[in-house]
Structure formats: structure tokens, C-alpha cells
Chains A and B, each alone.
Chain A
Amino acid sequence: MLIVTQPTNLGYLMIDNRAGGELPPGISSPFFEAATYTCTHCQSVVVMNPERKRERYKCTGCSHLLCDNCGAKRAAGAPCKTWAQLIDEVANLEARGLDTSLVLPTELVEAPAQTTPVDNNSALIIP
């Protein structure tokens, strides 16, 4: 039988500045604790502001909370594609020796990697 001893349905962020000094930008209390979740589409960690009134976007495709950016894209009609699906697609294409840039979002093909082999089909890279 699974015994749950503490809430495990969310991530956890703790920032403790009680030792003194100026608080860093964006932090209003010397001791800050908050639940977090990770957007399944882009893997950004979202700190759940307890003061927030707006509803968070829950994707009907993956049944998970999204960050505001991905939520806006999804609401505008973008398909549900989780990070895990993206990794799977990249891995499958790489295993077959095919170009992976077509399945990557534009923000992922911003700069060539130093250790990436020379791409013989650079025209396919989305600027």
C-alpha cells in the first residue's frame, strides 16, 4: 500500500534570505516558499503565485498545466506536443540519420552547437 506522508503532486521552491541583506528582485519576503509545476510543453518551471486569480491553462491534450506562454499558443490553436514527445521524435530521427531541425520548435534551432556535426542540409534550419 502506498503511504503518502507529504503532498507530492507539485514541485517545491524555497528561497531563504532570513540571514539578512537586501532581497533579490522579485522576492517580497525573507522566507519564500511556493509550489511549482513544470510546463509539459517547454519544461519551464512555473512558481505558483498564491495571489493569482486568473485560471491556469490546463491542456486538453496532455491533461497538464501549461505555462502562460505555451497556454497562449495552445489557446490560439497550436497542437499539444509535450517535451517528452519532442525528445522521442528527435531520438527517432537521429536513429534513422535524418535531419531533426524540422521537428524542433524555432526557438530550439537558434544557433548551431559547437559540438554538432556539420549540417549538410542547413537550408532546412528554420531561422
Chain B
Amino acid sequence: MRYSLGFTTKTMVAVADTTAMTDNGYATFLQGGGAAQQLKINEVYIGGEDTASTPTTMVLGRDSTVAATGISGNFLAAMDAVSTAGTVPVYGSASTTKPQRSSTLGRLLGLSLNTYGGISRWQARYGEEITTYGASASLGEVSLSSVTGTGKVSGHIIFEQT
């Protein structure tokens, strides 16, 4: 089952590793919907929406603290028409327990861009997707956040639930 996880008009708040992210100050987190659920990310797209130059260093990486309780934000759309969908993955941009990017596994993919109209897109080779497993740290969640820069972004993450 494939999904597109969308995020719109998020103004980034730069965050260091192992530091709690700010609600809606990061693009999104994506977490497995259960203890044995595996997600395979095969595309990440970010589009900048600022009206002035704002270099922003975005990274997709694993979280050493995963989001929990009070989760909200962003959009998830199924891309396959199936009648028996599995457990829906967990996603969002706000939560009571904030995600924290791992200091060792938090830089799986760098997607720097100037959000003054810049775009950034990565597509995995088939079979080389970034994988999450379960719903707990540090295998079970990835997040897309800013290391430096405060750009305004929208975009999507396409992934497959297995």
C-alpha cells in the first residue's frame, strides 16, 4: 500500500540533534503504525515558498525520541485503491512529546535549498528506499526538519507500507 504524506506552508525552526522540535516548525515526522510495520520511503520533495532569500538546510533522518500523544498536522493520501488497507502509519507536525533527531542516524538525506522558490527532490532507486521498522526509536520514525535556516516549505513524502 503506497501513501503520499503531504505538508503545506510550514515555516521551519532550525533544530539541533537530540533537541525537541517545535510544533509545526518542522516539515513532518513519519512513524510506523504498529510494532512490526515497515515503511519504505522512495521519494521526498520540498518546495520553497518564501518571498525573500532564505537558505535552508533540510535533512531527513531517524529520530532518537519519537513523537507521542496529541499528534496532529499534515495530510496522508492513499495512492493505491485497495479495499483492505492495513494499519495507517502515524504522521504529523505537532505532538505533546516532540520528536528529536538522532545525533548518529539523523542525517540520512540532505536536501538543502533556498526557499525563495527553490525546490529539492530525491527519488530512491528501486530497492534502496529508506526504511523504518516499528514505531519506537531509533528504527521506527524519521523526520524532515531544518538544521539551519527558517524557510517556508511545502512538499510530500511518498512511501510504501509493507
Contact = CB atoms under 8 A, between A and B. Distances in A.
Interface of B: 18, 35-36, 38, 48, 52-57, 64-68, 97, 100, 102-105, 107-114, 116-126, 128-131, 133-140, 148-149
Given A13-B122, A114-B97, A90 B129 contact: no
9 contacts: A13-B120, A19-B117, A21-B117, A45-B108, A87-B139, A91-B133, A108-B105, A113-B65, A115-B66
A44 interface: yes
A8 B125 contact: yes
Interface of A: 8-17, 19-27, 36-38, 40, 42-45, 47, 83-84, 87, 90-91, 94-95, 107-116
B130 A21 contact: no
B134 to A, nearest CB: 8
B137 A21 contact: no
Contacts of A22: 53, 55, 114
A37 B125 contact: yes
A42 B103 CA distance: 14
B123 A111 contact: no
B117 A113 contact: no
Nearest to B119: A16
